Structure 1
Amino acid sequence: MKFNKLNIIIVLGLVAIIGILVAQLLWTKQAYNLEEKKFSQKAHIALLEVAKKLYEGTNHELPSENPVQKVSNDYYIVNIDNDFEPEILEFYLKSEFEKANINTDFEYAMYNCHSDEMVYGNYVSLDKTKKQSSVYFPKHKNLVYYFAIRFPNEATYLFSSLKFWFVLSFALIVILLVYVYSILTILQQKKYSELQRDFINNMTHEFKTPLSSILIASNYLMKQDKIKQDEKLEKYTEIIINQSNKLNSHIEKILNIAKSDNAPMDLDKQEIEVVPILKDVIENIRLKHENIVANIEAEKDFTIAADPFHFTNIVYNLIDNSIKYCELKPEINIRLTEENRQIKLEFADNGIGIPSKKLPEIFDKFYRIPSPKSNEVNGFGLGLYYVKKICNLHHWKIKAANNPENGITITILIPIS
């Protein structure tokens, strides 16, 4: 695949989203570690306070060494060189954990020196309906009076405190998947578009060869005396030539559009006078449509920087459309004015008009307004698409609006350099 601008944008976008996602996952992991450390510190402080309270009112003093030891992530032991009751221990544990804002289930056990084993104390749950199950507490050597605390739901508790981080990570994953799906869809559509363009190019090229032969043969026939002497044969030959020329113009238009879509169109901008070009186009169209009425209203002789060939085509397309989509005697009023440092070029006709909802779509490629008149008129829906494309290349603005009575007005705004 050709490594063009679109591919570069796709790769950069994909790398950026993956980078953001990786960074988010690393931040989430860091946040979890910090939350785990914070929980461990709060549990440590709360258990130390419990140990101090168990020493109060006794003849023993709290040892200088820290009595709290963390055995694993959710398991702590507290060494108390003093005898204590389970009810008092549970009361202190509940009150200190509540002060430390440790809102998760816990269970505790105490060492019984008479039986030389850990005696299970109780499972304290915030949810009274939750099923409680005892867990084995191992015995620790060199300790006589001590108790152990386990937080069975510590991991769940920590995850619940990081809901925002996980929701954000999930959202980024969804965005990445949507982006990948969108890119695959765009690439698929691009492939189909290229296949369609190649098919149109090949088809039109194949049409041009037999069409050229038809035109050569028809023009040769027109010069024959027998054809000139027979009025019907001459008329039929003229029909063949006219229809062949019309078909040839359609093929040329399709080829030009396909070429401009495949590669940037080069403009040969020159300083040109607008009114003479308008008059030349009108004179050429009158050779084909003698009954048209075309008026030019210009405040002055305007000069613009434009490609003469393409600008002439724009004018021809707009006037030709006004004639084709008119059920009365065609009347086109062309106005040239200056407003807000812009040349305003308006083409107003008395045609059948366009439904307001369809106006934004008339410049789309291959689009034709569904109407009985459209079915009568030959075309591919490329004329206004070509006009809009040339205007965009010149950095002009173009818009369409319905007239109060009938017909439409196409307006081109050309900045004054």
Structure 2
Amino acid sequence: MHNRHLRKIIALGTLVLISLGALQAYWFRKAFDVAEQQFDHSVQVALRRVADSVSSTAEVRKIASNFFLVETPKNLNGQDIDRLLKNELLIRRLNLDYELGVYNADDDTLVYGNYVRATQPRMSAGNGVTDESHPQNFAVYFPAKASIVLASLDIWIVSTIALMLMMGFFAYAIYSVLRERRFSTLKSDFVNNMTHEFKTPVTNISIAGEILKNKLPENHELSVYVNILLKENNKLRNKIDQVLLGSSAYHVRPESFVTLDVHRLLAECAASFELRMQERNGVISLELNATNHAVAGDPELLAQAIGNVVDNADKYSNRSPRITVRTRDTGNGVAIEIEDNGIGIPQDMRSKVFEKFFRIPSGDVHNVKGFGLGLSFVKDVILSHRGKINLRGELNQGTTVQIFLPVA
């Protein structure tokens, strides 16, 4: 995954989670407000019923979020008010703690105080009976109102916790991806450095082998071993070049692209395989029908990518290979099709063949040697050129690789 795509995914995911968090907070607040209004309504109805039992002119007021005051022109009996209030609250299923106080209206002195637990006996201060004739008020305080309101929002609390867990998981996933990407970068750097270091001794071996070959007399008995040495050394150099070239596909930049002729590139690629086709009694044919075949890209990478596809078509043909390379116009680009008569690819393996190091299982025997990097490299190159690649075909019925490249 390229850095630009990774940054887009992280930014988009973060934006979505922030939006979900803000939306959850908004609706949680709205639900809390509704639950609080329901609580206040039930309490005020209960207080209204108690107040009406004392005086029809009594006034119920909400002083604070959890503090209510009832003003009456009557002299009150604290115990009767306490009993009536308890009953009214239980009728409305408000089984909660509260504090009740009865005050003289003229000087706000406390004449009756009672703290009532929802599940325990009452603890009162005085009996609340007075002989004075001046008006009195009573107030009710609910110390646990917030917890009662929150308890009614259980589904909202669960959904909020679930969202927070999801956000935490997303953060951990991003951290893991970045850490793995860092390790992957370190691994790639190590492989690149090692392959670069290998090129020097491989080159020296090649030079030494050529010198030794030139110094030996013709048909010397050691010539066969020198030829083996040079041949295997050349294979090793080709493998190193494949690894280095595959790594360069990750670092290609569009600003370094040049305008190139796809038809010319395909013709040169086909020409490079002519000798191999003749050795296997095969044929590679071109059907270049696209009218707009100029694209922007890296000539070396595209040539290697096309070469990998043709090379696979040749290697995975048990009989004389018949390879056809076609082009055609398609929308704002050019489509390239490379069709062969090879062994084909099982349907369930089509999506996996583009994965790095993947090779179609064939037991412990691989008739075709390789690292499983060919098609992975092809896909990386095509995607870096803003193109697309897919394949079709059936087992033992050949394969067609389809490549789309946008025109310059």
> Which residue identity does 1:44 align to in structure 2?
Q
Q: Residue 283 of structure 1 corresponds to which residue in structure 2? A: 271
Mark the CA change 1:67 to 1:75 in structure 2 (over 3 Å): closer, same or farther. closer
| Aligned-residue CA RMSD (Å) | 4.4
> Which residue identity does 2:43 align to in structure 1?
A
Q: Which shows bigger deviation, 85-94 or 280-289? A: 85-94
Mark the CA change 1:174 to 1:278 in structure 2 (over 3 Å): closer, same or farther. same
Write the distance in 1 (CA, Å) between the matches of 2:261 and 2:17: 49
- Find 2:94's aligned residue among 104, 109, 115: 104
Q: Residue 222 of structure 1 corresponds to which residue in structure 2? A: 213
Contact 2:342 2:398 in 1 (8 A): yes
Q: Tell me how far 1:250 sits from its aligned partner.
A: 1.5
Write the distance in 2 (CA, Å) between the matches of 1:166 and 1:259: 51
Q: Which shows bigger deviation, 337-346 or 313-322? A: 337-346
Q: Tell me how far 1:186 sits from its aligned partner.
A: 0.8
Q: Which shows bigger deviation, 149-158 or 46-55? A: 149-158
Is the aligned partner of 1:256 residue 2:249? no
- Find 2:336's aligned residue among 320, 330, 345: 345
Write the distance in 2 (CA, Å) between the matches of 1:19 and 1:336: 47
Write the distance in 1 (CA, Å) between the matches of 2:111 and 2:78: 16
Count of matched residue pairs: 393
Contact 1:322 1:349 in 2 (8 A): yes
Q: Which shows bigger deviation, 174-183 or 392-401? A: 392-401
In the TM superposition, what whole-angstrom CA distance separates every residue of 1:188-246 from its partner, at most 9, and x where no partner exists?
A: 101210121111012101211110111111122232242x322x533332222222222
After TM superposition, the structure 1 = structure 2 runs for residues 187-336 of structure 1, keeping only pairs within 5 Å, are 187-226=178-217, 228-230=218-220, 233-262=222-251, 264=253, 267-272=256-261, 274=263, 276-288=264-276, 290-298=279-287, 300=289, 302-306=291-295, 307=297, 308-336=299-327
Mark the CA change 1:27 to 1:295 in structure 2 (over 3 Å): closer, same or farther. closer
Is the aligned partner of 1:54 residue 2:43? no
Write the distance in 2 (CA, Å) between the matches of 1:11 and 1:339: 33
Mark the CA change 1:8 to 1:137 in structure 2 (over 3 Å): closer, same or farther. farther
Q: Tell me how far 1:358 sits from its aligned partner.
A: 1.2
Q: Tell me how far 1:305 sits from its aligned partner.
A: 2.0
Q: Which shows bigger deviation, 198-207 or 35-44? A: 35-44
What secondary structure, in the 3-state scheme, does the structure 2 residue paired with 1:335 have? strand
Write the distance in 2 (CA, Å) between the matches of 1:21 and 1:310: 45
Q: Residue 371 of structure 2 corresponds to which residue in structure 1? A: 380
Contact 2:287 2:324 in 1 (8 A): no
Gaps of 5+ in 2: 103-109
Contact 1:106 1:149 in 2 (8 A): no
Write the distance in 1 (CA, Å) between the matches of 2:256 and 2:355: 22
Q: Tell me how far 1:90 sits from its aligned partner.
A: 5.5
Q: Tell me how far 1:86 sits from its aligned partner.
A: 7.4
Q: Tell me how far 1:265 sits from its aligned partner.
A: 6.2
Q: Tell me how far 1:162 sits from its aligned partner.
A: 2.8
Q: Residue 73 of structure 1 corresponds to which residue in structure 2? A: 66
Write the distance in 2 (CA, Å) between the matches of 1:223 and 1:401: 49
Q: Which shows bigger deviation, 161-170 or 136-145? A: 136-145
> Which residue identity does 2:237 align to in structure 1?
N
Q: Tell me how far 1:376 sits from its aligned partner.
A: 3.5
Mark the CA change 1:103 to 1:110 in structure 2 (over 3 Å): closer, same or farther. same
Q: Residue 106 of structure 2 corresponds to which residue in structure 1? A: none
Mark the CA change 1:155 to 1:281 in structure 2 (over 3 Å): closer, same or farther. closer
Is the aligned partner of 1:394 residue 2:389? no
Q: Residue 185 of structure 1 corresponds to which residue in structure 2? A: 176
TM-score with structure 2 setting the length: 0.76
Write the distance in 2 (CA, Å) between the matches of 1:340 and 1:121: 81
Write the distance in 1 (CA, Å) between the matches of 2:115 and 2:66: 20
After TM superposition, the structure 1 = structure 2 runs for residues 163-178 of structure 1, keeping only pairs within 5 Å, are 163-178=154-169
Write the distance in 2 (CA, Å) between the matches of 1:134 and 1:331: 97
TM-score with structure 1 setting the length: 0.75
Write the distance in 1 (CA, Å) between the matches of 2:390 and 2:42: 68
What secondary structure, in the 3-state scheme, does the structure 2 residue paired with 1:357 have? helix
What secondary structure, in the 3-state scheme, does the structure 2 residue paired with 1:312 have? helix
> Which residue identity does 2:123 align to in structure 1?
Y
In the TM superposition, what whole-angstrom CA distance separates every residue of 1:349-376 from its partner, at most 9, and x where no partner exists?
A: 2322222111111112222222259733
Q: Which shows bigger deviation, 317-326 or 400-409? A: 400-409
Contact 2:292 2:407 in 1 (8 A): no
Contact 1:349 1:407 in 2 (8 A): yes
> Which residue identity does 2:163 align to in structure 1?
L
Q: Tell me how far 1:48 sits from its aligned partner.
A: 2.7
Gaps of 5+ in 1: 56-60, 126-131
In the TM superposition, what whole-angstrom CA distance separates every residue of 1:3-47 from its partner, at most 9, and x where no partner exists?
A: 999579758965885686478558746764674466335423431
Write the distance in 2 (CA, Å) between the matches of 1:103 and 1:144: 31
Write the distance in 1 (CA, Å) between the matches of 2:269 and 2:310: 9
Mark the CA change 1:122 to 1:396 in structure 2 (over 3 Å): closer, same or farther. closer
Identity fraction in percent? 27
